[in-house]
Amino acid sequence: MTGYRSSAAALAGGVVLTGLALAALLAPAIEVALGLDGETVDLFNRFAAPSADHPLGTDELGRDLLARLLNGGRVSLAVGLAAALAAAGIGTVIGLIAGMRGGWVDAALMRLTDGVIALPLLPLLIVLAAVDPVKLGLPGAWAGEPWVELLRIVVLVALFGWTTVARLVRARALALRDQEFVIAARALGVGPLDLVGRHVLPNLLSQVIVATTLSVGNVILLESVLSFLGLGIQPPTPSWGNMLTNAQELVWQSPALALWPGGLIFLTVIAFNVLGDGLQDRLDPRAQWR
């Protein structure tokens, strides 16, 4: 019964995430179809109640709330997925090198991993996110561009979020390198890259997928926290995090401005975690055997 419950929960999480992803991807088409505009300021229509013209009402500047939620979802989901995939890629490479090489290479990479784990992640991200990109050598014309802010968050999270995948991949690679099929392939003269790509990586890919799925929710939370603190995606580009920032002083005047983005962050994180748990049960041979 446990397997059926986990499968049903994973399916529900997948359905929720699919719906959110489709809504975010189709945001421009939905805006056109419903006649919405999330960028036009209308100070005579501030804090409007839900209506046919504005299904979820308007914000403190008279902008349509539904349109901003849809576009904010595009940013938050894009950051979460891109950063999680980048971190998983870095962690997989480091874990494979450590597990397959062993010796001093393994020891050095694992001490590096331990050092990154020991860092206070959120304070470190806050400090690095506050650094002016112009002082890092980027052209001044790029300052304030939405894609630069998005890329900066992805890079920062990826640089410090790869440790879990690295340790997981390294442990699995250590177990696989002593298996008979790997020893046989090595004896037949299979090169290191082919050995890893054809025999080792496919046998640990399921663990990487599960770890990546579980980390997406954490990345979305980090992006939301940075945006809430004014160090992430900057207005007028919407994200669920900076929408919460704008709503914090208006929560008593218009609670919906905080409830909608906060509820969507909560729903997305829970859905990713449930999906990850379900995939772990489905892809783990021992869980299937039980």
**Per residue in 82-106, pLDDT tens?**
999 999 999 999 999 988 888 899 8
Which tokens is 70 given?
């849809």
23-42: burial string, b at 16+ Cβ within 10 Å, e else = bbeebeebbeeeebebeeee
| Tens-place pLDDT, residues 172-221 | 888 888 788 888 878 877 777 888 878 788 888 888 888 888 888 888 88
Amino acid at 44: F
> What is the full DSSP assignment across 87-126?
HHHHHHHHHHHHHHH-HHHHHHHHHHHHHHHHS-HHHHHH
Domain that holds residue 12: 2-36+55-289
| Tens-place pLDDT, residues 242-280 | 888 878 888 888 888 889 998 998 899 888 888 887 777
Q: Is residue 50 part of a domain?
A: no
Q: Is residue 235 part of a domain?
A: yes
Give the Cβ contact number of residue 139 at 10 Å.
10
Range in 1-10, 68-77, 262-271 with the lowest mean pLDDT = 1-10
Q: Is residue 151 part of a domain?
A: yes
Q: Is residue 200 part of a domain?
A: yes
Cβ contacts of 202 within 8 Å, gap of 6 or more: none
The answer to whether 34 and 224 are in contact (CB under 8 A) is no
Can you give the pLDDT at residue 19? Answer: 92
Q: Is residue 155 part of a domain?
A: yes
Q: Is residue 115 part of a domain?
A: yes
| Tens-place pLDDT, residues 123-134 | 888 887 777 666
Q: Output the domain CATH number for residue 228.
A: 1.10.3720.10
Confidence of residue 3 (pLDDT cuts 50, 70, 90): low
Confidence of residue 70 (pLDDT cuts 50, 70, 90): very high
Amino acid at 127: V
| Tens-place pLDDT, residues 222-247 | 888 887 777 777 777 888 888 888 78
Task: Say what the pTM is.
Answer: 0.83
- Total tally of structural domains belonging to the chain: 1
The answer to whether 10 and 279 are in contact (CB under 8 A) is yes
Which tokens is 35 given?
């006649």
**Environment class of 172 (CB within 10 Å of its CB; exposed 0-12, middle 13-18, buried 19+):** buried
Of 159, 154, 163, give the one whose Cα is nearest residue 76. 154
CA-to-CA distance for 290 and 287, rounded, in angstroms?
5
Bridge partners (DSSP) listed for residue 58: 64
What is residue 44's three-state secondary structure? helix
Range in 66-75, 138-147, 272-281 with the lowest mean pLDDT = 138-147
Confidence of residue 69 (pLDDT cuts 50, 70, 90): very high
What is residue 69's three-state secondary structure? helix
Can you give the pLDDT at residue 120? Answer: 83
Can you give the pLDDT at residue 288? Answer: 46
Q: Between helices 65-101 and 240-247, what is the axis angle to 10°? A: 130
Can you give the pLDDT at residue 6? Answer: 61
Can you give the pLDDT at residue 290? Answer: 44
Torsion over CA of 224, 229, 235 and 239, rounded to 10 degrees?
A: 10
Residue 126: phi, psi to the nearest 5? -65, -45
Q: Is residue 41 part of a domain?
A: no
Confidence check: pLDDT of 139 > 80: no
Can you give the pLDDT at residue 150? Answer: 82
Can you give the pLDDT at residue 287? Answer: 47
